[in-house]
Amino acid sequence: MTTELWQLEATETARLVRERTVSAVEVTEAHIARIDAVNGKLNAIVVRTDEHARAQASLIDSGSATGPLAGVAMTTKINTDHVPYVMDNGIAMLKDNMSSMTHKCIEGLLTDGAVMLGRTNSPSFALRSHTGNDLHGQTHNPHGKHLTPGGSSGGAGSAVASGMCAIAQGNDVAGSVRWPAFCNGIIGLRPTMGRMPSGGTNPNPRGLSGMMMSTQGPLARTMADLRLTYSAMQYPNWADPFWVPMQNDFPAPKSPIRVALITEDGHPMDDATKTAVRTAGRLLEDAGYEVEEISPPMLETLFSMWLRLGAMDVLLGLVPSLPGINDSGLTKATEGMLPMFPEPTPQVLMKALADRDMMFRAWNQFFETYPLIVMPVLTKPFMRMNEDIEGSEIMAPLWDHLRYTVNLASLAIPSLAFPIGNHDGAPQGVQIVSHSWREDLLLNAGDALELRLGKVHVVDPVW
The reported pLDDT for the residue numbered 203 is: 67
Asked whether 53 and 32 are in contact (CB, 8 A), the reply is yes
Residues 6+ apart with CB under 8 A from 337: 314, 392, 395, 399
Kindly report the CATH number assigned to the domain that includes residue 178.
3.90.1300.10
Q: Name the domain count of the chain.
A: 1
- Over the stretch 316-328, which tens digit does the pLDDT of each residue have? 999 999 999 999 9
Could you tell me which of 258, 277, 257, 281 has the C-alpha nearest to residue 269?
277
- Over the stretch 428-456, which tens digit does the pLDDT of each residue have? 999 999 999 999 999 999 999 999 999 99
In the predicted model, is pLDDT for residue 91 greater than 70? yes
Asked whether 269 and 333 are in contact (CB, 8 A), the reply is no
CA angle 96, 98, 104 (to 5 degrees): 150
Asked whether 80 and 90 are in contact (CB, 8 A), the reply is no
Q: Residue 393: how many CB atoms within 10 A of its CB?
A: 9
| Structure-model confidence comparison of residues 401 and 204, the more confident one | 401
pTM: 0.98
Amino acid (one-letter) located at 164: M
Domain of residue 321, residue span: 7-453
3-state secondary structure 103-133: CHHHHHHHHCCCEEEEEECCCHHHCCCCCEE
In a domain, 209, yes or no: yes
Asked whether 10 and 231 are in contact (CB, 8 A), the reply is no
State the catalytic residue, choosing from 122, 158, 176, 415: 176
Mind giving me the DSSP string for 151-180? Answer: SSSHHHHHHHHTTS-SEEEEEESSSTTHHH
In a domain, 458, yes or no: no
Question: Which residue blocks in 197-345 are alpha helix, DSSP H?
Answer: 208-213, 223-233, 271-286, 299-303, 305-311, 319-325, 328-337
In a domain, 461, yes or no: no
In a domain, 360, yes or no: yes
In a domain, 154, yes or no: yes
In the predicted model, is pLDDT for residue 2 greater than 90? no
In the predicted model, is pLDDT for residue 198 greater than 90? no
State the catalytic residue, choosing from 122, 129, 152, 436: 152
In a domain, 192, yes or no: yes
For 422, phi and psi rounded to 5 degrees?
-150, 165
Half-sphere exposure (Cβ direction) of 433: Cα atoms closer than 13 Å: 27
DSSP state of 384: B
In a domain, 258, yes or no: yes
Please state, rounded to an integer, the average pLDDT across all residues of the chain. Answer: 97
Q: How much helix, strand and coil, in percent to the nearest 5, is found in the chain?
A: 45, 15, 40
In a domain, 462, yes or no: no
176 is catalytic: yes
The reported pLDDT for the residue numbered 199 is: 76
162 is catalytic: no
Confidence of residue 1 (pLDDT cuts 50, 70, 90): low
Confidence of residue 354 (pLDDT cuts 50, 70, 90): very high
Tell me the residue length of the chain.
463
The reported pLDDT for the residue numbered 205 is: 78
For 391, phi and psi rounded to 5 degrees?
110, 165
